[in-house]
Structure 1
Amino acid sequence: MEKPKHPSEDLNELEEWTENQYNPGHYIGGKVPHHMKKINKIYFIFLLGILSLLGGIVIGGYLYKTFENEIISGLATILTIVTCMRGYTCYKHRNE
């Protein structure tokens, strides 16, 4: 007799993974474990954007004061803005 299914697809996949996590042959052939299917890089991109923003402010300010080199500061700012925009678009479209 088959077990009743959960109403949620995620719960069904989690139960399947729980029952077969120590079965080495279960996930061979295209099946992916539940926790690997939900890996998301949005937070990494967002953190990278924040770190590049802070680095751009600190390093760009130092270079601007020391060498008065506006090109390097401008490139750091553009890179920071592009990284933040990419993180935001990934966050906005994460469920599509």
Structure 2
Amino acid sequence: MKRKKLTRRNAYLKDLNEWNEHKYSPGHWTGGNIPPHVKYGGKPMGIVMFVIGLVNIIAVIVALFFSSRFDYSMILAVGLSIIMFIGGARKIKRR
């Protein structure tokens, strides 16, 4: 178990070093590479994503009910909030 934790820490430090070297290189992080604080965020990052997604979903649904006209951007906001909510739940469950 200690070996697994040490390997994970080494991978995090390696990714952090790569992030520091290439964070201002255009196009380096557009190929599926994500910043290490998101990749290795663990439960705290998952909890933040979960809560923000939940609050956004509630806020947009309340705005839909009290709005006098329908706006398609609210559907986009609900969709993005659901994605954040599910991503946070998966990150909490996985670690």
TM-score, normalised to structure 1, is: 0.47
- Looking at secondary structure, tell me which structure has more helix per residue: 2
TM-score, normalised to structure 2, is: 0.47
Kindly indicate whether structure 1 or structure 2 has the higher relative contact order, using CA contacts under 8 Å at least 6 residues apart.
Answer: 2
Structure with the greater alpha carbon radius of gyration = 1
